Amino acid sequence: MDPSSPLTVGAFLGDRLRIQEHALDAGVFIRSLASRGMIGGVSHTIFGAIHVLEAAGFNKIIIETVGTGQDEVEIFRVADTIMYVTTPHMGDDIQAMKAGVMEIGDCFIVNKADLAGKDKAISDLRSALSLGRGHKPKPWETPVAGTSALAGEGIEELGKILDDHWDYLARSGEGRRRLKAQHREELSLYISRRVYRSALSRISEKYLEDMVEHRTDPASLGRRILRNDSSRSN
């Protein structure tokens, strides 16, 4: 996912330039998507892309979000496994706590572990996770690990973490629960976009003039448009 311009809704889809070694790999397909103004770090088009990749036979699908800020955690409604990636000296451990990522992350990875500060970053994340866990044991103990994409270090450990989490999802029934939540989210997005587009198409120049002249307000007018739209569909 790449952020979209608030004016043109376009995006510079440049992340694929970083992984050009896979350009000729028959087992890898990369599809860039723009966020199209959707908040939460993902786009409404993501479910369609996932379905197409599944139908094409891809059994592992990696989704990179726009980024995780204060409210950009909607990826947990889309993916089976949530991997939060940070780097040393980014201060992202504290940011993650504020953003709610500590609650949704299934594993935490400190990349660029060849740089100084890796051990502190891993320790800080583990401390933050232990604070959030309290005294209750969790069915899945969230791992924290270091990797270096440049040096190729920690990749096998990361692969094992992801495989272990997949096994946990299948064994515990959590995978089925998450799949139902994903279908609910996809259906919710479809309905909300249909209602939104239909309502927007009914905003006339007269409605805007009425608001400019203070003859009505957005809340009252919005209720009227939705009520009329509901009556038409019935």
Strands 83-86 and 107-110: parallel
Q: Whole-model pTM?
A: 0.79
Q: pLDDT at position 15, please?
A: 60
The 10s digit of each residue's pLDDT in 125-148 is 888 888 766 555 678 999 999 999
Mean pLDDT of 207-219: 93
In whole angstroms, how large is the CA radius of gyration of the chain?
Answer: 22
The 10s digit of each residue's pLDDT in 11-52 is 555 566 667 677 678 888 887 777 665 555 566 788 988 999
* CA–CA gap between residue 23 and residue 229 (Å, rounded): 47
User: Residue 201: phi, psi to the nearest 5?
Assistant: -65, -15
State CA 61 to chain mean position distance: 13
Answer yes or no: are the C-beta atoms of 202 and 228 closer than 8 Å: yes
How buried is residue 42: exposed, middle or buried, by Cβ count under 10 Å (0-12/13-18/19+)? buried
Q: What percent of the chain has pLDDT over 70?
A: 74
- Identify the CA nearest to 32 among candidates 68, 73, 63, 69: 63
User: Residue 100: phi, psi to the nearest 5?
Assistant: 90, 5
